[in-house]
Amino acid sequence: MGDVSRLLADYGPAFGQALFLTWKLTVVSFVPGFLLGVVVTVLRLLPLPPLRFVLTGYVEIFRNIPSVALLIFIVFALPDLNVVIDYEPSVVLTLTLVCSAFTADYLRSGINTIPGGQIEAALSLGLRPTRIISAVVLPQALRAVVQPMTSLLIALMLSTSLASQVPFPGRELTALVSKIANDSAAGMAAFAVAAAMYVATGLLIAWAGAALEKKVRILR
């Protein structure tokens, strides 16, 4: 315990900043990733074969590629193609792409829980297909995916640790631990503090997700 208190005396503000950066990276990749995932899901519903083909490829690629491999490609290989993206946007872009692919996949499963009779009913009421998607399909699909999206958000939060793989100006939790472990003998204490912060954040997200799920779930 003495190790931890000494560590917090030395690095307390640094841990606060690192935790904040971890949260920030999580939010700024989740929000656009989620929205992009919704757009991809809707576009895949449209009866446009070339678009469906390409977007299915998009989802499968970014669902199956390891995030680190994608990040390394964006940071180190893209400059060879004269596309230079700064480190922080690279991390956010990586996480956004991966998040959007998983969102699209989960939403598709959520859509599959909607009985076909509802669509037939909506069509016979004279609603146009685009209106059915926005008024009947999406609201129910979104309510059905709260649980997997909560898991995705937690996984995304843990994935922000890969920001430690690029020379980042700020340090998030994992990068801070690796720096402290390199500089001093307080590695174990630093790890304990960072792990507690990750676990607490994850439990917080899980709790919020469960509360939301309880509120919006559809019992069939």
Partner 1 sequence: MSRPLEDILFGAPSPQAQTVTRVVSVIAAAVLLLLAAGIALRFHSAGQLDARFWEFFAWPTTWAFLARGLLGTLASSAMAAAIALVLGLVLLVGRLARLRLVRWPSIAVIEFLRGTPTLLLIYVCFLVLPSAGIKLSTYWMLTLPIGLSTAAVVAEVYRAGVLAVPRGQTDAARSLGLTEAQVFFLVVFPQALRYIVPALVAQLVIVVKDTTFGYVVTYGELMQNAKVLIANYHALVPVYLVVAALYCLVNYAISRASKRLGGPMH
Tokens encoding 14: 């640094």
Which residues, 6+ apart, have CB-to-CB distance to 23 below 8 Å? Answer: 157, 201
Is position 12 an interface residue for partner 1 (rule: CB under 8 A)?
A: no
SS3 call for 128:
coil
User: Does residue number 191 form part of the binding site for partner 1 (CB under 8 A)?
Assistant: yes
Figure out which of the listed residues 27, 60, 109, 217 binds partner 1, where binding follows CB under 8 A: 60
Binding-residue pattern over the window 20 to 49 for partner 1, x denoting contact by CB under 8 A: -------------------------xxxxx
Number of alpha helices (DSSP H) and beta strands (DSSP E) in the chain: 10, 0
Smallest gap from residue 12 Cβ to partner 1 (A): 19
Q: Which tokens in the block code for residue 199?
A: 């676990």
Binding site for partner 1 (CB under 8 A): 45-51, 54, 60-61, 63-70, 72-73, 76-77, 80-83, 111-112, 114, 116, 119-120, 123, 129, 132-133, 137, 154, 158-159, 161-162, 164-165, 173-174, 177-178, 181-182, 185, 187-188, 191, 194-195, 198-199, 202-203
